[in-house]
């Protein structure tokens, strides 16, 4: 079994800096009306980005191995949260958006499925407590230019 370690240091109030095994620092904070200085990402937001980053890494890697050329790629994440404390996510929706020519739906579906059921450790942990929905869109590469 592998052990991961992390370190968190209070900066001021509820502003914290943390780093883990990769030795990269990240700042976490809360809103000013809650004792923070609004200087960093919220911990729950970081959880959503962790999930998206984990599955995105898998999906892109799988598609590269299948020699699928992506002109661009993004994930739109939305999450429903309870109103009462502790405010927890109850449903997370991930919408994968692929830009490129000749991207086969079967390749995209398989890459997402493999990430879900085999590779993404963040998804495997979270799905024990939260419903995670997946959807995707394949868009023409011209749509990339329209985003700019």
For the segment 9-65, what is each residue's pLDDT rounded down to a tens digit?
999 999 999 999 999 999 999 999 999 999 999 999 999 999 999 999 999 999 999
Q: What is the pTM of this model?
A: 0.91
Three-state secondary structure readout of 81-143: ECCCCCCCEEEEEEEEEEECCCCCHHHHHHHHHHHHHHHCHHHHHHCCCCEEEEEEEEECCHH
| Residue 143 pLDDT greater than 80, yes or no | no
- Model confidence pLDDT, tens digit, residues 118-141: 999 999 999 999 999 999 999 988
């Amino acid at each position: 079994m592998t052990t991961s370690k992390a370190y968190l240091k209070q900066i001021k109030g509820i502003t914290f800096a943390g780093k883990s095994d990769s030795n990269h620092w990240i700042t976490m904070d809360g809103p000013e009306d809650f004792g923070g200085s609004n200087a960093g990402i919220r911990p729950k937001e970081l959880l959503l980005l962790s999930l998206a980053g984990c599955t995105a890494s898998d999906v892109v890697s799988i598609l590269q191995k299948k020699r699928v050329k992506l002109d661009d790629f993004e994930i739109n994440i939305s999450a429903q949260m309870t109103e009462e404390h502790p405010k927890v996510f109850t449903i997370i929706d991930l919408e994968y958006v692929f830009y490129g020519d000749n991207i086969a739906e079967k390749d995209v579906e398989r890459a997402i499925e493999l990430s879900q059921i085999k590779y993404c450790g963040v998804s495997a942990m979270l799905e024990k407590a939260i419903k995670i929905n997946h959807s995707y869109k394949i868009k023409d590469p011209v749509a990339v230019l329209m985003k700019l």
